[in-house]
Structure 1
Amino acid sequence: MTLLDLTARPAARLPNAHLPVAIVGAGPVGLAAAAHLLRRGIDFVVLESGDQVGASIRAWGHTRLFSPWRHLVDPVAQELLEATGWTLARPDRAPTGHELVAEYLEPLAAVPGIAERIRLGVRVTDVSRDAMDRTRTRGRAAAPFVVRTRDGEGDVADATYRAVVDASGTYLSPNSLSSNGLALPGLDAVADRVLPALPDVLGRDRATFAGRHTTVVGAGHSAANTVLALASLARDEPGTRVTWAIRTASPDRVTDSDADGLPGRASLGARARRAVADGRVALLDGFETVGVRRDGDALELVGRRGADVLAHRTDLVVNATGFRPDLAPYREIRLDVDEVVEAPRRLAPLIDPNEHSCGTVAPHGYRELAHPEQGLFIVGMKSYGRAPTFLLKTGYEQVRSVVAWIDGDVAAAQAVELVLPATGVCSTDAGDCC
């Protein structure tokens, strides 16, 4: 059997084996799923809302990842790439997001058998069962999935699939700036002054921040990256100021422990704390954001600090409060999601950030990721819901197990193994991204 012989090994576990598998998202985990499906001879289509593979990573591509290359490449994807002459250079070096895309994702997306199955610029808006809404049960398991997409021209199309593997991530669905999680009152009127997490402060977005006062909201590593970049910019651009607004008494989510198995992350924490200590960054701690309003040419973030209500004046706001999964496309699908973390219910206890760090997450696969809809799997960063402890290596083991199950190879699907670095305490609000 060759890698391109898609009729040699039909999936035995699922009905509708003549239909392809839908992969949502052409990031690292989505393309890893494509590699595993290709290796097993299972047809698939990759549906990517961006105009290029790795679209979300490109948005923060200037940022260096915590993990080194050896933890960022899926083993099966590596085999496919090496067959084309590709080599894994500098396995112990942590790349930037742009390097991850250029040196890994783009070559992987160009592999024969994967390249022709990627559809760019199509956003998945809805998933259902063919001729079945959420309430119908009889014959449900035998009905194929219907995936509805909308392209850049607004054209809508439905297609049927035997299974759906959603690796679309969470970068496009950030948490609210409001401390209660609801939409922040007044945000619509000032949306042009509020930027997403991990802007390119020292590069593409330099002119936006130079000479202005920026308030970064959020206590995680994405916030720390932006705070440090702004502090660096302030050395060269007069009038540039940075405030770090957090709900807690200190930025304790940003570790600087010597025991951290990812040295880049520990270094980031140490540098951020020094920037606060030496006055280059103003810390606004204990600040619970409740609203925002325009104040002339500036903004006022309104918040509670203990019993007091404060109005914090700033020019720009960066929302680095973390991310959440967009589950709206699954209104007609039966999901089993934890009510707190918004992860698959059996996975949630294994990734609860109150109990676990990146390095203490137990190996898990198709069983922990399964929903009542047989053949639907949410994987990668999105599978972690609101938990901020995801590592790419975890996602690769997820899709290995899921694809084995789709192929009817139950023994391989159940043989879940995961060797992670000794990562110490971590709470990385963008996973491997920074």
Structure 2
Amino acid sequence: MTLLELSRPVRRTLLVGGLPVAIIGAGPVGLAAAAHLLERGIDFRIYEAGASAASSVASWAHVRLFSPWSLLIDPAARRLLATTDWVQPDADSLPTGAELVERYLAPLAAHEHIASRIHTGSTVEAVSRQGVDRTRSAARSATPFVLRIRTGAELGEVTASAVIDASGTYTSPNGLSSNGFEPLGAEQVVDRIVPALPDVLGSGRARFAGRHTTVVGAGHSAANTLIALAQLAREEPGTRVSWVVRNSGAARVSASPDDALQARASIGARVAALVADGEISLVDRFEIARLRPAVSTTGNGVVIVGVRRGEPFEIATDNIVRATGFRPDLSMLRELRLELDDIVEAPRRLAPMIDPNLHSCGTVEPHGFAELRHPEPNFFIAGMKSYGRAPTFLLSTGYEQVRSIVAWLAGDVAAASAVQLVLPATGVCSTADAGGAEGGCCA
């Protein structure tokens, strides 16, 4: 089937110069955007920093998602894959990250009309307008975008008619300190700080077995790691698990029976039981200020220094797992005119709808291009990055975002405005006591 046969008639295009749309990131939302552009007959290029599509998902391949397949496959991507020998997974089953890649994202990226347009190993370092910085207004909307891209040791530039930034936030974790900074002394112990969602029972087993690991963070990323560490402690003598949160409890891993995603609710219930049974040592209301290297009985360790309930407090540990959530990397967008909320760093119109102090994954209202627009014409941030520091994102939300964005770029205002999003009720409403953004995994 050709690109022309897959495309729909375009009533009016907002794109200039016959240039392709640039998609930053070949993750689930970036690939979904490609499928929608393909259906509309709009050319595109995808620039992916990793060595392959969905590289961030592959980094937590061992984790089982709490959303079923029915919520993980974009409709346009499904229609595209249906033209091949692809076998759709059972709608009600829960895949791991590896299965999400193997059974959906890899086949989608390998489709003949998408694979030829993906540039892997290509890091977008900056986005601007061709010959126009953010201060110049004349003919701005008619001027192509320019993306500066690093591929290996080479630095080059490409032009585009529109840009959809679906680069995600996985490579931009929040700091370990409650003020958003890295703790003082962190540079001395970088080898003892582990990124979120390590493969505790698999490739990372030797690092954690027989050692004391402290998980920092109150979201589902932390909960998944805690459950795995508790299992390891039952299998490997000497393994100990501590859990540090800065509030009075772990509101973001509630075990609410009202959660429509029961796998999500069960995560909270399992962690609560492990804490109650003493398998996990919960250290709440702890503000981290400093880290210092230490020598433990099992090798090089670290001492976490801070304040707990108003009093000085220290934790000696071997490993720290950073499960503090993520933030958007906006450095590449400094030459664009953005309108971001000053709290969560999401698009200003979207921010009140996703504020983690008021909303959970299931209470976000439908939204599309209108809420995602910036003063920079034809530039959109979509997917997890569009949520800024809010942790309530689900993949189905990102899919509806890019459907609406692509319809708008195609000039189909009616379709772009007809936003429909049905999310599973969560039964969890974050409160002010829940604190700042924590990472939730996995949608």
Instruction: Quickly name the TM-score band, shorter chain normalised.
Output: over 0.9
Q: Contact 2:407/2:416 (CA < 8 Å) preserved in 1?
A: yes
TM-superposition CA deviations, 1:389-418 (whole Å, max 9, x none) = 001111000000000011111111111111
Kindly provide the amino acid, as one letter, of the partner of residue 369 in structure 2: Y
Q: How does 1:181-196 map to 2 (within 5 A)?
A: 181-196=180-195
**Residue in structure 2 matched with residue 264 of structure 1 by the alignment:** 263
Kindly provide the amino acid, as one letter, of the partner of residue 363 in structure 2: T
SS of the equivalent of 2:116 reads: helix
C-alpha distance in 1 between matches for 2:407 and 2:91: 27
SS of the equivalent of 2:3 reads: coil
**Residue in structure 1 matched with residue 310 of structure 2 by the alignment:** 307
- Given candidates 348, 358, 363, the residue that maps to 1:360 is 363
Structure-2 change in CA distance of 1:222 and 1:141 (3 Å): same
Q: CA RMSD in A?
A: 1.7
**Residue in structure 2 matched with residue 149 of structure 1 by the alignment:** 149
SS of the equivalent of 2:253 reads: coil
- TM-score (norm: length of structure 1): 0.97
* Structure 2 residue runs without a partner (length 5+): 431-436
Q: How does 1:94-109 map to 2 (within 5 A)?
A: 94-109=94-109
Structure-2 change in CA distance of 1:114 and 1:345 (3 Å): same
SS of the equivalent of 2:148 reads: strand
Kindly provide the amino acid, as one letter, of the partner of residue 387 in structure 2: Y
Kindly provide the amino acid, as one letter, of the partner of residue 279 in structure 1: G
Q: Contact 2:51/2:121 (CA < 8 Å) preserved in 1?
A: yes
SS of the equivalent of 1:342 reads: coil
TM-superposition CA deviations, 1:151-181 (whole Å, max 9, x none) = 1x22111110000001111110000001100
C-alpha distance in 1 between matches for 2:388 and 2:63: 23
**Residue in structure 2 matched with residue 63 of structure 1 by the alignment:** 63
Confirm whether residue 375 of structure 1 aligns to residue 374 of structure 2: no
* Structure 1 residue runs without a partner (length 5+): none
Instruction: Tell me how far 1:295 sits from its aligned partner.
Output: 1.5
**Residue in structure 2 matched with residue 284 of structure 1 by the alignment:** 283
C-alpha distance in 2 between matches for 1:430 and 1:19: 36
SS of the equivalent of 1:61 reads: coil
Structure-2 change in CA distance of 1:178 and 1:383 (3 Å): same
Q: Contact 2:221/2:441 (CA < 8 Å) preserved in 1?
A: no
C-alpha distance in 1 between matches for 2:400 and 2:7: 25
TM-superposition CA deviations, 1:287-312 (whole Å, max 9, x none) = 00111010222101111112211121
Percentage of identical aligned residues: 59
Instruction: Tell me how far 1:4 sits from its aligned partner.
Output: 4.3
Structure-2 change in CA distance of 1:7 and 1:143 (3 Å): farther
Q: How does 1:157-176 map to 2 (within 5 A)?
A: 157-176=156-175
Q: How does 1:96-245 map to 2 (within 5 A)?
A: 96-151=96-151, 153-245=152-244
**Residue in structure 2 matched with residue 273 of structure 1 by the alignment:** 272
Q: Contact 2:217/2:438 (CA < 8 Å) preserved in 1?
A: no
- TM-score (norm: length of structure 2): 0.95
C-alpha distance in 2 between matches for 1:432 and 1:301: 25
Instruction: Tell me how far 1:18 sits from its aligned partner.
Output: 0.6
Q: Contact 1:224/1:254 (CA < 8 Å) preserved in 2?
A: yes
Q: Contact 2:219/2:250 (CA < 8 Å) preserved in 1?
A: yes
Structure-2 change in CA distance of 1:430 and 1:61 (3 Å): farther
Q: Higher mean Cα deviation, 190-199 or 420-429?
A: 420-429
Q: Contact 2:354/2:392 (CA < 8 Å) preserved in 1?
A: yes
- Given candidates 329, 354, 365, the residue that maps to 1:351 is 354
TM-superposition CA deviations, 1:237-289 (whole Å, max 9, x none) = 11111100011112122110111010111100000001011011111111001
Structure-2 change in CA distance of 1:72 and 1:431 (3 Å): farther
Q: Contact 1:392/1:432 (CA < 8 Å) preserved in 2?
A: no
**Residue in structure 2 matched with residue 389 of structure 1 by the alignment:** 392
